[in-house]
Amino acid sequence: MEQSFTIKGAVIQVLQQLGDGAVAFAPRLITAAILTLIGWLVASLCRFALSQVMQRAGADAALAKAGLMDSFERLGVREPMRLVLPAMLFWLTMLVFLQSAAEMVGQTTIAAGITGFFAFLPNLFSAMIIVVLGNALGQFLGRAATAYARESGVAFANSLGSALSGFTLFVVAIVALGQLEVDTRILNILTIVIFSGLALAFGLSFGLGTRDTTRNLIAGFYARRVFGAGQDLEVGGRQGKVRAISAQQTLIEQDGGIFAVPNTTLIEQVIVRKEEGGSAA
């Protein structure tokens, strides 16, 4: 005799299946919740321990002294490292336990995503280190170029330092993208073409169009090391005191007036320098 179908029987069968599934799933869900709680406790303990170690070691002061805090600030990180790094450690530790919890409840997609993130993590850390150190290097080179250009009397010293710093950061960004396994071949070719063109234009400009300007600029650098402001000079039969040596010209004061000579005159012609007591050198 065939068993008759009733709505009541179908509903009871569905509820029994749901109950059996819930009973089978409950231990795994409870285990996952316990793993998550343990992970939170362990991660909090690791964050607290690292924060205390960094605070006692004076990590923020050491990073500031090394010039790395400026790099972090330029990258948008304005919180102290004794808070940032422990927070990163907290979430990395949590992800380890969350991966196990996801596998426990059968969420293989989430677990695989976390596994892929940890596989990519070394490249990410390497790229971050490259950016931070490269940023610090760019700032150092920019400041050094600015100081050297100012000492040489270059009027656009700040722009020169900024340009060198920006170029360094551009190169560092390409290296960091390569570390992240981003295809930068087209960017590399484009960069080579652009900078080759700029170098050619720069060389032609300095070699042809502004040759005299370049010679005066270089001569001014050497002249400042030999002659100083207030020193008596005789140039081409005209005697006076050095007022200033600019990027292109040397200003000499004579009888209440000022006349200018190109910087190349100071190194190409015979200059009579008056020492104290009126003797010529």
pLDDT for position 280: 45
Q: Which CATH number, 3.50.50.60, 2.30.30.60, 3.40.50.300, 3.10.20.30, labels domain 228-274?
A: 2.30.30.60
Question: What's the rounded Cα separation, in Å, for the pair 217 and 230?
Answer: 21
Residue 148 exposure: Cα atoms within 13 Å on the Cβ side: 10
pLDDT for position 210: 63
User: How does 6-16 read in b/e, with b if 16+ C-beta sit within 10 Å?
Assistant: eeeeeeeeeee
Average pLDDT for the chain: 77
pLDDT for position 4: 54
> Rounded mean pLDDT of 209-225?
70
The least confident of 11-25, 105-119, 251-265 is 11-25
Check: CB of residue 219 under 8 Å from CB of residue 240: no
Check: CB of residue 262 under 8 Å from CB of residue 252: no
Per-residue pLDDT band at 19 (split at 50, 70, 90):
low
Domain ranges of the chain: 1-106, 228-274
User: Among residues of the chain, what percentage have pLDDT more than 90?
Assistant: 5
Residue with the larger pLDDT of the pair 131 and 75: 131
pLDDT for position 61: 84
What does the pLDDT look like over 37-70, one tens digit per residue?
A: 998 999 999 999 999 998 888 888 887 777 777 7
Neighbour count for residue 221 (Cβ, 10 Å): 17
Q: Which residues pair with 273 in a beta bridge?
A: 233
3-state SS class at 236: coil
The least confident of 54-63, 141-150, 200-209, 212-221 is 200-209
Q: Which residues contact 155 (CB under 8 A, 6 or more apart)?
A: 247
Check: CB of residue 247 under 8 Å from CB of residue 204: no
Cα 71–74–76 angle (5° rounding)?
115
> Rounded mean pLDDT of 180-201?
76
pLDDT for position 15: 66
What does the pLDDT look like over 98-151, one tens digit per residue?
A: 888 888 777 788 888 888 888 888 888 888 888 888 888 888 888 888 887 777
Q: What single-letter amino acid sits at 136?
A: A
pLDDT for position 1: 40
User: Among residues of the chain, what percentage have pLDDT more than 70?
Assistant: 78
What does the pLDDT look like over 157-174, one tens digit per residue?
A: 787 788 888 888 888 888
